[in-house]
Amino acid sequence: MSQPNAMFNARILGTGSYLPEKIVTNADLEEVMDTSDAWIRQRTGIRERRFVEPAVGPTDLGLQAAHRALQSAGLTPDQIDFIIFATLSPEYNFPGCGCLLQEKLGLATVGALDVRNQCTGFVYSLAIADQFVRTGTYRHILVVGAEVHSSGLEMNTHGRDVAVIFGDGAGAVVVGRSGNGNRRILSSPLHAQGKYARKLWLEAPTSLEHPRLTEEMLREGRHYPQMDGRYVFKHAVDRLQESVREALAENRLEIEDVGLLILHQANLRISESVVRSLKIPPERVFSNIQRYGNTTAASIPIALDEAVRAGKVQPGDVVVLAAFGSGFTWGATILRW
């Protein structure tokens, strides 16, 4: 039962992730476009990524990640009070993935919310879950980030700058009340700057046109994601380090206090630039983009789950999660594990 006037601390109770079995290497991409393993590694750090089989959607991946997060939290699906689903690649324009996942979990009337903040979707979702738990509105919230990029990429030489970056996958966490006030989500500063919306975007289908998708749009490739790579790179480096510093300052913490930093897995070169600027030791940074590519809203929860299961996060550690993406949007979540 909700207690809207109560105040609690919230923390992550459990983590989970799921990656499709199909591995697509850089050598595989060489077969369908003019690229090379060396070219991709030099620009992105990516060696391979995962792609789904046909007819597998983000809620199928999210369901598996959710079950693992629930198991980690020691909970069953019927103990979930609310679902937040972050994705840029929903099965359908509507209804949202949250509702589809709710049905797959067998939760009859539990509320469900979709967050469409692309690469920052997970940190925005965590901030929402934190507030719902803090105010006593919900006790256990399932937060999922899941993506199926492979069915929406231009897999040829023309589209290679974007196509080589992305992969499919899902990550999930359960957010609930903290029995220990020290183990909690501390804060989540969030930002956006819509003036740069067209630097990283997917134009079509669009409700600005009638019909929303035309043969001309298809011929021009306007239904594929477009990115000004150099522009995005510069802004990502600047905004990610700003987000980390802002989150730490809000809680009177220093870089030296950070036990683990997990950046959105967009590009290894971006991450390395941010880490150098922050002067944080590499051993306190977790990265897995080499194996999975950019899974946008799923990248941070996948990395967090892997770090937790590998023992890289211990109770009491300060953990910082930071993301930058389309919008432009950016933000960070800082928590005491």
Cα–Cα distance between 304 and 119 in angstroms, integer? Answer: 15
Report H helices in the chain: 26-30, 37-44, 58-73, 97-105, 121-134, 160-163, 215-220, 229-250, 268-278, 289-292, 299-309
pLDDT digits (tens, 9 = 90+) for 68-127: 999 999 999 999 999 999 999 999 999 999 999 999 999 999 999 999 999 999 999 999
Active-site option among 9, 26, 117, 294: 294
Residue of 147, 148, 125, 129 whose CA lies nearest to 138: 129
Cα–Cα distance between 97 and 48 in angstroms, integer? Answer: 27
Q: How confident is the model at residue 222 (pLDDT cuts 50, 70, 90)?
A: very high
Residue 288 appears among annotated catalytic residues:
no
Report which secondary-structure segment, H or E, holds 262: strand 258-263
Across the range 294-305, mean pLDDT stands at 98
Using a 10 angstrom Cβ sphere, with 0-12 exposed, 13-18 middle and 19 or more buried, the burial of residue 34 is exposed
Q: Is residue 185 a contact partner of residue 335, using CB atoms and an 8 Å limit?
A: yes
Residue 119 appears among annotated catalytic residues:
yes
pLDDT at 1: 47
Which amino acid, 175? V
- Residue 68 gets which letter from DSSP? H
pLDDT digits (tens, 9 = 90+) for 17-52: 999 999 999 999 999 999 999 999 999 999 999 999
Q: Is 160 helix (H, G, I), strand (E, B) or coil?
A: helix
At residue 330's C-alpha, the angle toward residues 329 and 331, to 5°, is: 140
pLDDT digits (tens, 9 = 90+) for 179-220: 887 899 999 999 999 999 999 999 999 999 999 999 999 999
Using a 10 angstrom Cβ sphere, with 0-12 exposed, 13-18 middle and 19 or more buried, the burial of residue 309 is middle
| Tokens, residue 254 | 């220093």
- Write the CA distances from 93 to 12, 52, 107, integer angstroms: 30, 20, 22
Active-site option among 140, 149, 235, 264: 264
**Helix, strand and coil percent figures for the chain, each rounded to 5:** 40, 25, 35
Cα–Cα distance between 330 and 243 in angstroms, integer? Answer: 7
Residue of 197, 204, 203, 222 whose CA lies nearest to 325: 197
Across the range 245-265, mean pLDDT stands at 98
Instruction: Identify the sign of the CA torsion 75, 107, 174, 295.
Output: positive
Residue 50 φ/ψ, nearest 5 degrees: -110, 140
User: Which residues neighbour 170 within 8 Å (Cβ) at sequence distance 6 or greater?
Assistant: 17, 18, 19, 58, 61, 62, 64, 65, 144, 145, 146, 147, 295, 298, 301, 302
- Radius of gyration of the chain from its Cα atoms, rounded to whole angstroms: 19
Over 80: is that where the pLDDT of 147 sits?
yes
Give the global pTM.
Answer: 0.96
Mean of per-residue pLDDT scores for the chain: 96
| DSSP line for 177-191 | E-SSTTSEEEE--EE
At residue 96's C-alpha, the angle toward residues 154 and 89, to 5°, is: 15
Residue 294 appears among annotated catalytic residues:
yes
Active-site option among 26, 119, 140, 235: 119
Q: Is 16 helix (H, G, I), strand (E, B) or coil?
A: strand
pLDDT at 3: 56
- Write the CA distances from 180 to 9, 31, 127, 149, integer angstroms: 8, 53, 19, 39
